Amino acid sequence: MIFVGLSHKTAPIEVRERLAIGRSQLPEVLARLTAHPAIGEALVLSTCNRVEVYASPRQMSPGLTRPGSAAPPSEEEASHHNEALRAAASVLVGIGGDAVRGHLAGCVGSEAVLHLFRVAASLDSMVVGEPQILGQMKDAIEVARGAKTLGARLGRAAHRAIKVGKRVRTETAIGAGQVSVSSVAIDLARQIFTDLAGHTALLIGAGEMAEAASKLLVRAGARLVVVNRSPERAAALAREVGGEPRPWAELERAVVEADIVVSSTSSPSYVVTLDLVRRARKARRGRSLFLIDIAVPRDIDPAVNKLDNVYLYDVDDLSQIVAQSVEGRAAEAARAEAIVVDEAQAFEAWTLERALTPTIVGLRARTRSILAGEVERSLAGKLRHLGPAERQALALMIDAATNKLLHVPTTRLRAMASDPRVAEHVDSLRELFAIDD
C-alpha cells in the first residue's frame, strides 16, 4: 500500500485550497488514479485540512517484508511501490498545479498503513480527538466502493482503519468535550467577546460544519442569523437551532449587522469579497468586524485583513487554540498512539500471513503431486487389480498423508510471519521444493 497527499501539517491553506476536491469530483479522480497501469486500487480522503490518496500497486505480488525489517523489500517490490507513488503524486499535481508538488508527503508499506490508522484515530487532525474524521473516511470508502476502485487489499486496510478509530474513541477519552474545527472557532469567538450572550453571530453556510457551529453559537447565547444560497436549507437549520434565516441577497446587510461572522460553505470562490467588506465597514461606522473562515477553499478574501477594524481568522489561525487543546489531551493521545501501533502491527501480521498462502498452497500441491504420482504408478502395476472403492480409499490416504506431513511445517511457517527473516525462509522453501510462482 502507498500513501501520498498533503495536509495542514505540510501545506498552508493557500496551497490546500488549490487541491480541494469535492465529493462529486471524487469518482473522476479515482478513475484517473486507477487508469494508470501502476495503480490497482485507490481511495481518496478529501477534507478541509487534507487531501490524501491511498493506493495498492497493480502489479504488486504479496509482500513478505516491511520497511525497517531485517529483510529489505525486493527491487521489484520497491519498483512497484515507487511507480505507484509517483503516479498518485502526478494525479494530485495535475489537479492542484505545481504549487502543491513541494508540499506532498508520502510513504509505503506498513508506514502507509500506520498513517491511515493515525488519521482515522484523529491523531493527525488539526484538532486531536475531533469526531468528524471517521464520518469523512466512511464517506471516502463509500465513494471508492461505488467507483469500483476498492479491492480486497486496500478495502481491508480502510475498513480496519474505521475499527481502529472507533476503538480509540471507546478506549480513551481523546474525544471528551467539544472538539472540532467548529468548536475551536467558537472558542476563538469567546476569546474575542468574552461572553457571546447578546451578540449577533452571522453564519454563512448550512453544511455539517456550519450546523455544528450554529449549535455551539446558540448554546453560548448568541443571536444567530443564517444565510445560505439555498433558502430552504437556511430555513431548516435556523428552525432547528432557533436562529433567523436570511436570503442570500441580504448577505451584505447581515454582515453589516453582525458582531461576528462565521463562514463555512463549499463555494469554490470567495463569498465574502473585499468590496463587500469595504462597503459593510463604512456602514458599520467604525465598529470592529470579526470574521472566522473555517472553509477550504476559503470563503473570505484574505485581503480584508488589511482593512482597519477588520479581523479575519482562517483555519490555520486556529492552530494556537488547537495547541492548547492538544496539551490537555496529551495523555489520552499517548494511549491512542499505543492502540494505533498495536492495530498496525496486527494488520501487518495478517498481511504477512496472507502473503504466505501461495507458498503453503504450492507446497501442498507439490507434496500431493509426488504422493499421487507414486500411487498412480502402483495402480498401473502391482495394484491394478484394485476396484473403485479401494482406489477411492487410496485417494483419501493421499490427502491424509499430505496433511500430516505438512501440518508441522506449515504451522511453524505461519508462526514465523512476523519474523524479519520470513522472506528468506520462504525463498529457501520455494527453491528446495521447486515451487513455481
Q: Which residues are catalytic?
A: 48
AA letter at 236: A
Q: Is 345 annotated as a binding residue?
A: no
**What span, in angstroms and rounded, lies between the C-alpha atoms of 181 and 48?**
10
Q: Is 387 annotated as a binding residue?
A: no
**What span, in angstroms and rounded, lies between the C-alpha atoms of 283 and 278?**
9
Q: Is 60 annotated as a binding residue?
A: no
Tell me the pairing of strands 223-227 and 244-246. Answer: parallel
Residues 6+ apart with CB under 8 A from 68: 110
Q: Is 135 annotated as a binding residue?
A: no
Q: Across the strands, what pairs with 363?
A: none
Cis peptide before 297 (omega within 30 of 0): yes
Q: Is 191 annotated as a binding residue?
A: no
Q: Is 130 annotated as a binding residue?
A: yes
The DSSP code for 37 is: T
CA 142 from centre of chain: 12
Q: Is 207 annotated as a binding residue?
A: yes
Q: Is 131 annotated as a binding residue?
A: yes
**What span, in angstroms and rounded, lies between the C-alpha atoms of 199 and 201?**
6
Cell numbers for 416: 514465523
Q: DSSP states of 383-409 as a string?
A: TTT--HHHHHHHHHHHHHHHHHHHHHH
Q: Is 136 annotated as a binding residue?
A: yes
Q: DSSP states of 167-213 as a string?
A: HHHHHS-TT-S--SHHHHHHHHHHHHHS--TT-EEEEE--SHHHHHH
E strand segments, 118-276:
200-204, 223-227, 244-246, 260-263
Q: Which residues are annotated as a binding site for NADP(+)?
A: 205-210
Q: Which residues are annotated as a binding site for substrate?
A: 47-50, 125, 130-132, 136
Q: Which residues are annotated as a binding site?
A: 47-50, 125, 130-132, 136, 205-210
